[in-house]
Amino acid sequence: MNCNTPLQADLSDFNDLSDYRMYIQNRIEKIVSLIRTSVSDNMHNPIRESQNQPGDEFTELLAGLELLVSQKKALEEDVSRNRKLCQKLSQEMEKLTATISSISDAILILDVKDRIVFLNKAAENLIGYSSSEVKEKGFFNFVKIVDSQTKGNYDDFINACITSGRKVIRGIMITGNGDEKTVSAHGSIIDSSSGEVWKMLFLRDVTEQVKLEDELFNIHKLDSVSVFAGGIAHDFNNILTGITTNLFLAKMGIREDSDARKLIDEAQTAAFKATRLTKQLLMFSKGGGAQLKETASITEILEGCIGFCLKGLNVDYRLGFPEKIWQVDVDKGLIDQAFSNIILNAAESMPNGGTIDITAENINIGDSTSEQPDLGALPLDTGKYVKISIKDEGIGIPQKLLTTIFDPYFSTKENSTGLGLTTAYSIIRKHGGHITVQSQPGKGSLFSVYLPANIDQDDQRESLSALDGTGKSVLIMDDDALVRTVIEKLLKSAGFRVNTTTDGEEMLNVYKDAYYQNDPYSLVIMDLSIPGGIGGEEAVKSLKSFDPAAKVIIISGYSNNHVITGYRDFGFDGVLGKPFTINELSRVIQNVLAEKAS
């Protein structure tokens, strides 16, 4: 702006506010000069005051003053208006900043060289650095992105996000402190009015979501396997029932101290171990429920279990069981499986051999006089428990892995399913118990299992000799000839009169014939599933409708079927899982017949 700008200047004539200020200063100096000249002239020539003409210095002075006042007023209005606009803009910026900061997704703005210009609080938490630490620095200086599919470096991650549109990009982010987080991301380009180009990234931590997705996928896989397992379980357990019961019949006439008797005992043990294959698959597909419980000696289960598991291995064992260990209510097959998995895990941790120590003790959780005060920290109800400790001399478990060893499919061993300890944990928990582990690398591991005790039951051995079938009759319904035959032989040896049928329709006809002849059957034993015929669930309804006093035992290889677990709700008086021991068969029959007599 020229200092000689006319006094009647317009604001649009100025380049900026400094020019306008210079103009005002010059005009003020001009006005002061005019006033001084006028005062001096009037003092020397008073007559001149009356001779002023339009356009003389006083006219210019007046016009300048008026313009100055009006422009000052306009300037004040502009300043006030700009101040209000700045305040409003500041308020909007505060709202925007608060909104962005409150968003749970991480938001980052990068320049064209991928330097971080802005990041919200969620982004700070995600990458593990504060805004002051990363601003104006490269994005990849603080994080590494790995392709979630190939596991290779995802160097093109930012551009992939920008060009993905609505498609979400997924990668594994490794932060500066080594944390791995699965993130889903997308982005966009921001073109500013100043011509700058920015990249905006939206990142979301989906680590837990991915874990859930993986678990659901594994569940679906197990569901598919369970369908297959369910199809073979019935036939498989029928075969095992025939094997175990025939083995029992075979050894009835053999002396207990003979070699043949020992071989038969080992064959029976192996046959019962074979049920683990189907029980493990069925248990996982149905949630791992503990079914078909009975009162048993945990020390006997452990004695049979460890000898079988370590046979042929370069591993020794020591047992430390006091005389009066309380009994427990368990599904013997599942508990045997749980301890077998723990023992095998211990043996595998000692590739060069070693010793496994197994001890048992009675404990009372909630007893203020207990010598083990830390028991109160266990997630167990107050009461009496049997604690089983399994200690090995193996390689131990790193501290960081102790919380994950019971997770499905977790394993540090090659060619392992990762289900062994998970299965054990599931079985123990479903029995109302708990399992803990203590370990140090190079110093072995200690697994502690807690099972609720049943101190009301005496430890007594039942046998078929205690079953008196004199004057009693049993009707058997099973589609498998092998199962019908072996049960018939067993019951006849106990003095029962026995008849067999193949399905529900035949069973009802035979039962009604005997009933009308005033010779009703004392007991009916029926299979749950009859392919192509009437099975136990439907047949018992018809039977109970005809004779409400009928006593019925359901047998099945599906140990976690809803009918088996809630058998009384369906009209059955007893339940027996295949394959069963002679003692189990004897006990169930005795209990059901005793109920009838009472």
Express each pLDDT in 362-408 by its tens digit. Answer: 998 876 555 555 565 678 888 889 999 999 998 888 877 777 777 76
Whether 450 has a pLDDT exceeding 80, the answer reads yes
Token couple for 87:
């305040």
In this predicted structure, what is the pLDDT of residue 233? Answer: 67
Q: Which two three-digit tokens encode residue 597?
A: 């007599």
Query: What percentage of the chain has pLDDT greater than the value 70?
Result: 73
- Residue 72: band (very low, low, confident or very high) from pLDDT cuts 50, 70, 90: low
The predicted structure's pLDDT at residue 402:
72
**pLDDT tens digits, one per residue of 188-205:** 887 766 677 888 888 888
Write out pLDDT tens, residues 102-116.
Answer: 677 888 888 888 888
pLDDT at 598: 45
What is the rounded distance in angstroms from the CA atom of residue 71 to the CA atom of residue 10? 9
Mean pLDDT check: name the lowest of 38-47, 167-176, 513-522.
38-47
Picking from 32-41, 430-439, 521-530, 563-572, which range would have the lowest pLDDT averaged per residue? 32-41
- Yes or no: say if 484 and 476 are a contact pair by the CB < 8 Å rule: yes
Which amino acid belongs to residue 171?
G
> How sure is the predictor about 311, in pLDDT bands with cuts at 50, 70 and 90?
confident
Cα–Cα distance measured from residue 180 to residue 194, given in angstroms and rounded to the nearest whole number: 38
Checking if the pLDDT of 150 tops 50, the result is yes
At residue 230 the predicted structure's pLDDT band, cuts being 50, 70 and 90, is: low
Which amino acid is present at 30? Answer: K
Mean pLDDT of 423-450: 88
Tell me which of 240 and 44 has the higher pLDDT: 240
- d(C-alpha 530, C-alpha 538), whole Å: 10
3-state helix, strand, coil in the chain (%, to 5): 50, 20, 30
Two tokens, residue 553: 């035992």
Place of tokens 């002051």: 132
Q: How many CB atoms within 10 Å of residue 75? A: 15
Q: Is 550 exposed, middle or buried (0-12, 13-18, 19+ CB in 10 A)?
A: buried
The CA distance from 74 to 203, in Å, is 49
The confidence score (pLDDT) of residue 54 equals: 45
Q: What is the model's pLDDT at position 7?
A: 46
Determine the pLDDT at residue 61.
60
Report the run of H or E that residue 122 belongs to, with start and end. Answer: helix 121-127
**Of the listed ranges 9-18, 156-165, 394-403, the one predicted with least confidence:** 9-18
Coil, helix or strand at residue 325: coil
Quick check: 47 pLDDT over 50? no
Q: What is the pLDDT of residue 515?
A: 94
Give the 3-state secondary structure of residue 135.
coil
As a whole number, mean pLDDT of residues 229-248 equals 76
Average pLDDT of the residues of the chain? 78
Q: What is the pLDDT of residue 11?
A: 54
Angle at 152 between CA 147 and CA 154, to 5 degrees: 50
Contacts of 549 (CB under 8 A, 6+ apart): 596
Average pLDDT over residues 471-478: 94
398 residue type, one letter: P
Q: Residue 15 has what pLDDT?
A: 64
Phi-psi region of 527 (alpha: psi -120 to 50; beta: other; left: phi over 0): beta
Q: Whole-model pTM? A: 0.44
CA angle, residues 390, 395, 397, in degrees to nearest 5: 75
Q: Read off the pLDDT band of 290 (50, 70, 90).
A: very low
